[in-house]
Chains A and B, each alone.
Chain A
């Protein structure tokens, strides 16, 4: 029953390009990319219980690394010839995962608020590097003309193809997190979130488990960034803006952290909401104020998020 609903849902989503106009499709592609980022954040925040406030750094590193490898670059001590896009995307994922390992190793030496603060300042430093290392990143001039992905003889120039690609990546990310959470490592993460001393006492390697969660989460965010770079085809230091991290956090928290469907539901809501607010001619500042207030209200009145609340309602009715 449940798997039937899932299959039907995915089939319905896959049929969208057949009837949607180009603008809606564009909004959905960007929403899907952020949904993948939110799914990756949920692994850390929802299952391992660690808030990454620099998640946009992994996203941006994935975007920049993938763009640079596909364009090639020439700096004083190293020259890289342009590589095929699929190879570039893998490089983006690897670069983001490596940074996740570094940040995890560094900050999980100490518990508490350290990971939050280290991750947020890491994102700021990466942004400074993107602005200042002009030789590599073109700084504020941005990386332009990033090639789209080529699969066999098909190059993904059009929106429907990109939509299907993003949908496929989102489904793969979802399944990956589902499998990981059900595995031994995933159960260790949840045990840590619930009671760290107890988990440690039954033999969970605390630091190792948290670092693993950070690597997987960062690599997945990097994949979202790589998708973004080859879809929008321009990357500038603004991909590192803190406001994107906030968007991911609010998607996860509103949808329901620590639930598989949470970031999907939250991602859809906060991917489409700005378009609705724009239609009402609301200024971007007001939109962000609404986001901020909403975040506070969700924590007060729906602390577990929308998905668990809905589940309870459904159970109550049946």
Chain B
């Protein structure tokens, strides 16, 4: 029982970051109709920025975290501007190929820049975990969870309460009509991609110090983000949030009770289950069924 409780707690802690990854990806897909294969690389970028700032420049941990997120947003905006701006209106396969090319180039650039050796990043939290009854949780994990929740909340506020968010939602519903209403679609796309990228970089900057940073770390993160997004329904933000926690729980239970070697296969099993029983995801909006 205590063990089960511990698994639930671990899943809750991890789920926040998964939700960040999923929300970023689903936003970009929903608004831009782009399957963003560079998402995992933005995640790795966040982790490596933490390494560069904290370990190489000696910056304060919290300042570094904020900077990493901002740099992630800037990189995202640059990617959108250089790669996707002129492909607006192109079909989904075309943008997909461009994003795959960018993914391969970015990942190998990371490998060239930081070598293949995994980098660990110091954190300022006490090493002794917080013990509550029979379960325990590391302070660093708790911090990651809290920041993830704050970022998720901020994203919701931006999308639901601001004028920018309104324009994003309008673009999501009908791009052409939104453009006719005077919304600058190009501007919305850049902001969306920057926001999604910032969330991915935040996830990487938060989890980098918990685990280690290595060049192919983004692949696994991207695979998980895809699973989360299918789980919640492509384009659904509440779906991605809950999907993040569901995936984290499935992985914790799978690793705890089945086999730790298959931890990363849980996402795929969830995808199969969802496609068999509810193909449009738990929170489907309007994806067509054939």
Mark A residues whose CB is within 8 Å of B. 49, 51, 53, 106-114, 116-118, 120-122, 124-125, 128-129, 131-132, 196, 200, 206-207, 242-243, 246, 249, 253, 283, 285-286, 288-289, 291-296, 299-300, 303
Contact = CB atoms under 8 A, between A and B. Distances in A.
A295 B101 contact: yes
Given A111-B290, A112-B287, A131-B261, A51 B105 contact: no
B290 A108 contact: yes
A299 B99 CA distance: 11
Contacts of B275: 106-107, 109-110, 114, 118
A19 to B, nearest CB: 35
B279 to A, nearest CB: 4
A196 B103 CA distance: 30
Main secondary structure of the interface of B (DSSP, over half): helix
B67 interface: no
A106 B287 contact: no
Contacts of A121: 223, 226-227, 267-268, 271
Interface of B: 29, 35, 83, 86, 92-94, 96-98, 100-109, 111-112, 219, 223, 226-227, 229-230, 234, 259, 261-262, 264-265, 267-268, 271-272, 275-276, 279-280, 287-290
Given A109-B290, A118-B275, A128-B261, 12 more contacts: A117-B271, A120-B226, A124-B223, A124-B264, A128-B262, A243-B104, A285-B108, A286-B112, A289-B105, A292-B102, A293-B105, A299-B98
Contacts of A200: 290
B290 A246 contact: no
A238 to B, nearest CB: 13
B290 A289 contact: no
Nearest to B229: A117
Contact of B100 (A110, A128, A295, A300): A295
Contacts of A131: 261
A292 B103 CA distance: 7
Contact of A132 (B97, B227, B261, B290): B261
A132 B262 contact: yes
A118 B92 contact: no
Contacts of B280: 110
A105 to B, nearest CB: 10
